[in-house]
Structure 1
Amino acid sequence: MNKVTTTIQQALLAMGIIIAAHGCKVDIDPTDRYTETAIWSNSANMELYINGMYSEFKTFQFGVFPIGYDNATDALSDIEKYTSTVAGNGTVNILATDASRVNSAGPQLNYWQTGYSRIRRLNEFLDGLAKYAKVDEATKKQYEAEARFIRGYVYFWLVKLHGSVILMDNIGQYLTKEHQRASEEDCWKFIAADFAYAAENLPEQQDANRTGRATKGAAYGMLARTWLYAASIAEYDKKQFNQDALTGVNAANAPAYYRNAADAAKAVIDLAAKGYYDLESDYASIFTNKNTKEAIFKLDYVSPQVTHSLDLGFAPPGDAPGQCLVYGVPTAELVNEYEMNDGTKFSWSNAAMAANPYSNRESRFYASILYNGASWKGRTLNTTPGNVTEGFAEYAVTGEPRKTVTGYYIRKMLNPAVNDFVANKSTQSWIEMRYAEILLIAAEARAKLNDIAGAQLALNTLRNKRGLPNTPASTAAALMTAIEHERKVELSFEGHRYWDLRRWRKAHIVLNNVRFTGHRITPTDDGFKYEVVNCDNMNRQFTPALYYIPIPVSELQNNAALTQIKGW
């Protein structure tokens, strides 16, 4: 691991606190500089410090991943297609079609140094808190809980990528640069311990002046997510894809970990029963209503100080002709997944459905997808090839088409009431965790525990709120199929699909040797013709080795004890 030079002093300097360099320890605190004692005896300093640590969640806002450039990881999956072929906007397409681009020498899918820099700063905070803080025990525990909540999140990403990583939980460990990876199972347990401590010591609701900070529900939610991932690896991996001694999770522990996930999800459901969370009747409003009760943990934005560029990046070109970037668009594989409004599966083989494919679909379809004929911001979208502004463009004909290459645009999370996003950017909240995800975790964990009734209850609670009938699934296997579908639709464009396929160990099947599609829609005398066209110009590649991303070679060079994950 690289020596991380960011220190507690630098962190506080960034927040406007001037700290002189430390000299030798003396009996009398110097009067011309801040000492550690002085720093931690000031509660305002601690507030500034821990509040600044929450910026780490912006690294993954709106489902992006910093792969040398912010690209949506959903575009590595079957539900979204990025339109560009050029490195930068199109880096995600390069990675999706060339597995060799992911290697220990390159920056792709690399969060190692950034993640460990944040971990060090959090550990410095925890060290100072324990040694010097002049606050009561309850306040101290809450600060520790927040720091461990953030640390758990950082490690969650590192372990999702690499499986086996270095565990650092105290400042003393930084006295040496030589550290070997811990086992993947111990890593998941470490993350779970951080979230469990946070859940025990965080309040059910933060004070108004702490809006956006972690709560008990957020910690339990992250704990449920963590155990679900650990259980999935235990069940599905079974050392089939990597023979490294430190990767993988003992298959015998899968039931216990699914039980842990179910229990943590139930803790959030219990908080919902107390009025803290709920599902929204209007699915589209979830993502533009800053007060939505579906949000368990979210990042808020306030213009003009703190904004983002979601609308500029994904709105259809007619919203701001010549300026919209149209980074990514939905695939036909996702569009076809949305059910009819009566719960019937959509099929192009059904003549009536094929004649009017965008009629009578479920409510989430209309809240998530902009299609030919959709009403949007006072106009009717025309995605036929003849429309020069926002009509279909064949992928790879131009490097940056800034138009749909599938016949569709993303509707979900865009703000339908805003037209000045080019100048003023966007302020929709990024919801890191929603109550809907908790119900889906509960459904999956209970299905795996053969609690059919419990799984059905969680799944049907969500489906009914979305205007759909109960699932007909009545076996664990059928429920799992239904849950996979539900996660694909409900959580689309929220950054889950690629990681779901990886934890289920299906990515090498779904994302390999295949080209995803869109629809070229052309007018006819009696309606429209819908032609299936590839939106990939070469086959996707996902090799089994990609279930464990290699550690950057620079880290191995700086840490003699660190070994590369086997197979890389």
Structure 2
Amino acid sequence: MRTMKKIKEIKRWIAGAMVLSTVVVFQGCKIDIPLQDRYTEEAVWNDPKSAELYVSGLYAEFKKFQFGLFPNLGYDNATDALSDIMKYTATTAGNGTVNILVSNANQFNAGSVGLNYWGAGYERIRRVNEFLHGLETKSTLSDEQKLTYEAEARFIRGYVYFWLTRIHGSVIIYENLEQYATKDHPRSSEDDCWNYIANDFAFAAEHLDKTNLDGRATKGAAYGMLARTWIYAASIADNDRKRFNDDPLTGIPQEKATAYYSNAMDAASAVVALANEGLYDLDANFASIFTNKNTKEAIFRVDFSAPLMRHQYDLGFAPPGDAPGNTLVYGVPTAELVDEFEMADGTKFSWSNSVHSVEPYENREPRFYATVLYHGANWKGRTLNLSESNSEGFIPYGSMGDPKRTVTGYYAKKMLDPQNTDFVVNGSTQSWVELRYAEVLLILAEAQTGVNQLTDAVSTINKLRGVRGLPNAYANTKSAVMALIEHERMVELAFEGHRFWDLRRWRKAHTVLNGVQFTGHKYTGFDYEVVSADNTDRSFIGALYYLPIPEAEVQRNNALDQIKGW
């Protein structure tokens, strides 16, 4: 029976991998697989094509987080809507579940968790470990191919563990298949978890080629993810200091922060070195990064192609006039994000400045026009009228359960495809860029700041700002440089799924996201009125820096204790 079960599992995975690989990963490449009634483990490991399809299928994990998605919330940009840069428009469960979570921290509990990836994440980890076990014990592939596949599998495992550790801090580490012989396993320390993730990405970086098939891991992608891992570990060591949780396994000793910042700097510098070889670069056309599949700014991305592999991002975020009666308008930018974009000359925008307030959307920095749709913006051949009386204009939050209109006076433009005029029928095919060069530079700047290389950090920031059409910024204290980095990450990476997690790792979420209501700007016909986009204060307590493990998982694992405080 166990053999038959294994055969069925392998067969299911091969079938799924065949669809994913031929449509997403390989795009135009044709792969001919002999049809077989069933796939045994031996068939997988003796047939290079079958092994290729198996490892390709493992990449499906990245689709779970495409466009800022979080698996059990179900909608794109969901985690940004947990932060201060995006407001979900609905009040009802489903489309408005994010709003229910942000307004009541008690919605996060061990029974429902609120952000739950535990079961799905560990299912993927087991599949990766099964693959690695078979690769080591049964495969007849060449040593070179084995090493490449191991590197790819560990890249994927590192990504899954990154998410689990990002959520919970202290999780269970499964290094090999033998551990599954027993069901009871304890959590490892948060420090050990981040180091384990780093080891997987470091192995991948060492053994992967600089180039690969589209949608597959490369040396640069592995170094980039390694840099992301170390900057998380470093900032938690620097900022947590056991102020929010008494669990003995969460938190990282503060004295390790400098070493981890150095590790992040080294990994990011390795990506910069690859960029200097011509593999990556900042894209002078900011808007095109997200619709041009050939942009050199993308280090790791998920591709789509019509008609079989499409997504619904445009349907979810385009303004109603793009497809009257059909667009869903899940989320819209907040005024807090809009106000963060600078003027074209690099000065801070302010509604108190009479020149700025008269024409608030004139002479703003280029990223603003690529990120936000506002009243008076030109979009798909029309000028947007976002006044309250217009069918795609402002509507007060809470006045309808699911309004499918803006509740802030803005729409999210970034990542929309301006050439897609029939996305209701055709769907969308622009790529999801999981990792891009701009993020690596921001990680590098933050790491340089962490080790007090402030001049270098400002230079790195200005490299990015220069390509974005902005003048140099200046700062000469650690706090001032960090303020620049926080600002740049907020506007540069808006709607790419970073903001909520940044506020958590900097340990600023309990101040930025608690006891406040975020706002919008309603055009009145003469000027702009500040309106609340929330009908109750936001709620973020210190306990949310380490979310609880699902209670069902604790009950079935006798060695697994709940994170303290839950």
Fold match (TM-score > 0.5): yes
Gapped regions of structure 2 (runs ≥ 5): 18-35
Query: Which of 486, 489, 502 is residue 488 of structure 2 equivalent to?
Result: 486
Which residue identity is paired with 2:100?
Answer: I
- Displacement of 1:35 in angstroms is 4.7
- Displacement of 1:522 in angstroms is 1.1
Change (3 A) 1:17 1:407: closer
1:505 and 2:543 matched: no
Query: Which of 29, 34, 50 is residue 45 of structure 1 equivalent to?
Result: 50
How far apart in 2 are the matches of 1:8 and 1:196? 33
2:123 corresponds in structure 1 to 117
Which residue identity is paired with 1:299?
Answer: V
1:267 corresponds in structure 2 to 270
1:361 and 2:364 matched: yes
1:439 corresponds in structure 2 to 441
1:276 and 2:279 matched: yes
Query: Which of 384, 388, 404 is residue 385 of structure 1 equivalent to?
Result: 388
Change (3 A) 1:39 1:535: same
1:10 corresponds in structure 2 to 9
1:136 corresponds in structure 2 to 142
1:187 and 2:193 matched: yes
Gapped regions of structure 1 (runs ≥ 5): 19-30
Query: Which of 236, 241, 244 is residue 239 of structure 2 equivalent to?
Result: 236
Q: Secondary structure, in 3 states, of the residue corresponding to 1:520?
A: strand
- Displacement of 1:313 in angstroms is 0.2
Contact 1:7 1:121 in 2 (8 A): no
Contact 1:6 1:121 in 2 (8 A): no
Q: Secondary structure, in 3 states, of the residue corresponding to 1:87?
A: coil
Which residue identity is paired with 2:234?
Answer: A
Q: Secondary structure, in 3 states, of the residue corresponding to 2:15?
A: coil
Aligned residues: 544
Contact 1:8 1:125 in 2 (8 A): no
How far apart in 2 are the matches of 1:78 and 1:8? 48
Query: Which of 73, 79, 91 is residue 97 of structure 2 equivalent to?
Result: 91
1:197 and 2:203 matched: yes
Note the aligned Cα RMSD (angstroms).
1.6
How far apart in 1 are the matches of 2:83 and 2:529? 22
1:348 and 2:351 matched: yes
Which residue identity is paired with 1:189?
Answer: N
Change (3 A) 1:145 1:556: same
Contact 2:232 2:505 in 1 (8 A): yes
Contact 1:145 1:197 in 2 (8 A): yes
2:416 corresponds in structure 1 to 414
Change (3 A) 1:6 1:189: farther
Change (3 A) 1:163 1:403: same
1:156 and 2:162 matched: yes
Q: Secondary structure, in 3 states, of the residue corresponding to 2:81?
A: helix
1:127 corresponds in structure 2 to 133
**What whole-Å deviation, never above 9, does each CA across 1:264-312 have from its counterpart, x for those lacking one?**
0000000000000001111001100011100000000000110100000
Q: Secondary structure, in 3 states, of the residue corresponding to 1:200?
A: helix
Contact 2:11 2:39 in 1 (8 A): no
2:71 corresponds in structure 1 to 66
How far apart in 2 are the matches of 1:185 and 1:293? 34
How far apart in 2 are the matches of 1:425 and 1:329? 20
Q: Secondary structure, in 3 states, of the residue corresponding to 2:388?
A: coil
Which residue identity is paired with 2:12?
Answer: L
Change (3 A) 1:371 1:433: same
Which residue identity is paired with 1:91?
Answer: T
How far apart in 2 are the matches of 1:60 and 1:196? 22
How far apart in 2 are the matches of 1:449 and 1:113? 37
- Displacement of 1:453 in angstroms is 2.1
1:475 and 2:474 matched: no
How far apart in 1 are the matches of 2:466 and 2:475? 15
- Displacement of 1:139 in angstroms is 1.1
- Displacement of 1:9 in angstroms is 4.8
1:370 and 2:373 matched: yes
Q: Secondary structure, in 3 states, of the residue corresponding to 1:16?
A: helix
- Displacement of 1:474 in angstroms is 2.0
Q: Secondary structure, in 3 states, of the residue corresponding to 2:160?
A: helix
- Displacement of 1:385 in angstroms is 0.5
Change (3 A) 1:557 1:479: same
How far apart in 2 are the matches of 1:7 and 1:193? 29
**What whole-Å deviation, never above 9, does each CA across 1:149-174 have from its counterpart, x for those lacking one?**
00000000000000000000111000
1:176 and 2:179 matched: no
Q: TM-score, normalised by structure 1?
A: 0.94
Q: Secondary structure, in 3 states, of the residue corresponding to 2:340?
A: coil
Which residue identity is paired with 2:136?
Answer: A
How far apart in 2 are the matches of 1:232 and 1:180? 25
Which residue identity is paired with 1:334?
Answer: L
How far apart in 2 are the matches of 1:134 and 1:9? 22
**What whole-Å deviation, never above 9, does each CA across 1:514-547 have from its counterpart, x for those lacking one?**
0000011111xxxx31110100000000010000
Query: Which of 282, 300, 307 is residue 297 of structure 1 equivalent to?
Result: 300
How far apart in 2 are the matches of 1:564 and 1:412? 39
Contact 1:68 1:107 in 2 (8 A): no
Which residue identity is paired with 1:354?
Answer: S
2:431 corresponds in structure 1 to 429
**What whole-Å deviation, never above 9, does each CA across 1:217-245 have from its counterpart, x for those lacking one?**
00000000000000011000010000001
- Displacement of 1:34 in angstroms is 5.4
Contact 2:373 2:410 in 1 (8 A): yes
How far apart in 2 are the matches of 1:262 and 1:59? 28
